């Protein structure tokens, strides 16, 4: 993948259902996938956030999930 033109950064804490909707929405927009990257910053979620991202969106080369264990420090 070449360098993306746009970085979309989604910071989340225990909001896997909302995150799924946001990611689905990003993938439906009209900009070609290779022109943007998505970075999910998981702020120490205790729900299924990480596993949902890996299970449903892990195949996307433009998506990264970063763990930030200190809440509020995205």
Among left, alpha and beta (phi > 0; psi -120 to 50; other), residue 46 is alpha
Angle between helix 16-28 and helix 49-57 axes, rounded to 10 deg: 30
The confidence score (pLDDT) of residue 70 equals: 84
- Assign 2 a pLDDT band (cuts: 50, 70, 90): confident
The confidence score (pLDDT) of residue 6 equals: 95
For 12-63, write each residue's pLDDT tens digit: 999 999 999 999 999 999 999 899 999 999 999 999 999 999 999 999 999 9
In this structure, are residues 64 and 39 in contact, taking their beta carbons and an 8 Å threshold?
yes
CA angle, corner 2, sides to 59 and 34, nearest 5? 50
**Cα gap 23→10, rounded to integer Å:** 9
């Amino acid at each position: 993948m070449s360098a993306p033109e746009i970085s979309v950064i989604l910071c989340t804490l225990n909001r896997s259902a909302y995150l799924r909707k946001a990611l689905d929405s990003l993938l439906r927009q009209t900009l070609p996938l290779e022109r943007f990257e998505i970075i999910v910053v998981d702020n120490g979620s205790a729900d299924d956030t990480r596993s949902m991202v890996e299970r449903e969106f892990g195949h996307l080369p433009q998506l990264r999930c970063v763990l930030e264990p200190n809440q509020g420090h995205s």
